[in-house]
Amino acid sequence: MEFKIGLLGLGTVGSGVYKIVTSRKQHIKQKTGFYPEIKKILVKHPDKPRNVNGIDEILTTDANEILCDSEISAIIEVMGGIDPAYDYVKKAIISKKHVITANKELIAKYGDELREMADENGVFLKFEASVAGAIPIIHQIERLKITDEINFVGGIINGTTNYILTQIIEKGMKYDEALASAQKRGYAESNPDYDIKGFDALYKLVILIKKAFDVDVSVNSIMRYGINEIKYDDIYYAGKWGYKIKPFAWAKYEKGNVYGSVEPVLIEANNILASVGDVNNAVILRGDGFKELIFIGKGAGQMPTGDSVVADLIDVLLNYDIKTNRTSKRILVFNGSFTDVFYIRLKPFYKFNIKNILKIFTDNGASFNGSVYDGNTFAAVFKLFDNDINRFIESLENKKMFTIESLFKVLYNDNEEDIRHVNTIESEAI
């Protein structure tokens, strides 16, 4: 039986989807009983050179040729952004077409509304490819929630920033060189702010929070810090003490509250996450029964992300669905911490004895994993015993002896899992 599909978008991911569906259609038919055919593809510029052949006759610039075609049973939306994707997806659902999307911003902001519409119209809304590329993390969360309660989700979920930091830290590139390399390979857009400033990871984290904890959270309530918060001094000192700086998004559910943020963190070099480089992603799940699982895979790219989209298509063809709980009322996400270990870089107002600086820290309940003072800059990795980073920072500022230039959390192998409120101090850009 034929199953006709409309494809909205033919960029990097859309091209991957087309290649996989057309090359594997016979195999898909053998496994599902349906022969998938991409009937129409919506593009902005039909004359644009593409790396996909033989598609000229099925290209269109009119979305209605797809959305109003009764023969098309499903649309795959890989356009990105909200306008016009939101309207197209709504119209498709109302027209009783299944929807598969890789659009993390759309799902983060309107996923609950669209899922309710899909339920009312008896169609599927699938979005595995919206988070972590080829890693099937949405499916894993759905399965694990049947037998356990998930209380933590996080990891490296933006391949572009991970690639850039990998080039800077491991290959010695300057920031502009690493960004240009990412753009050349199609990992970063000409305007990279969406990735660099953490928006991409933010939308993915919202999806993970909603899926893992069954709560509705506001995008605007989550603190977001991009890799532009990092200076080369921070990279140098982190490496000196055996850490790597990684882009990190995390959230924890505790006693009805959600804590989380998007931010660069220091990770011990012998931690498995420190070895996740380039565009690879890693997602951590923690639960009462299974304790901790880490999923690692390609987080970007034509074929890895396209594969996740086609996996959702196969779920639709197999009539597969796990009914998840409705999210509860919207709650705020508190700015917290998963750790009691921090990295700090200070610039003293004047030179003084290193013993005086160390005493200020120890008097405020800190012990050192490493520290350095050259008369101009003091940097340290330290542990707080009273777990009150707000009080600690306030105490430093009240001394009127330092400018706090950087403060990052440290993920280390024996992290305690208490949640504490914490302020993150902005540093200058790379």
Q: Please give the positions annotated as active site.
A: 204
Q: For residue 191, what are the contacts with CB-CB under 8 A and spacing of at least 6?
A: none
How many alpha carbons fall within 13 Å on the CB side of residue 297? 16
For residue 93, give the 3-state DSSP assignment: helix
In 203-353, beta strands by DSSP E: 216-217, 223-224, 243-254, 257-268, 280-287, 291-298, 330-331, 333-334, 336-337, 341-348
Q: Which residues contact 127 (CB under 8 A, 6 or more apart)?
A: 100, 101, 102, 103, 104, 107, 111, 138, 207, 312
Instruction: Kindly list the distances between the CA atom of residue 149 and the CA atoms of 121, 145, 355, in Å, as whole numbers in the listed order.
Output: 30, 6, 47
Query: Taking a C-beta distance cutoff of 8 angstroms, is the pair 11, 78 a contact?
Result: yes
Q: Alpha-carbon distance 95 to 98, whole Å? A: 9
Backbone angles phi, psi at 346, to 5 degrees: -120, 150
Instruction: Determine contact, residues 252/222, Cβ cutoff 8 Å.
Output: no
In 3D space, the residue among 344, 340, 360 whose CA is nearest the CA of residue 421 turns out to be 340
DSSP secondary structure string, 381-426?
EEEESS--HHHHHHHHHHHT-EEEEEEEEEE-TT-----EE-----
Q: Are 312 and 128 in contact (CB under 8 A)?
A: yes
Contact indicator for 243, 266 with CB cutoff of 8 Å: yes
Measured between alpha carbons, how far is residue 48 from residues 56, 66, 101, 173, 258 in Å? Answer: 10, 20, 23, 33, 45
Question: How many angstroms separate the CA atoms of 58 and 41, rounded?
Answer: 6
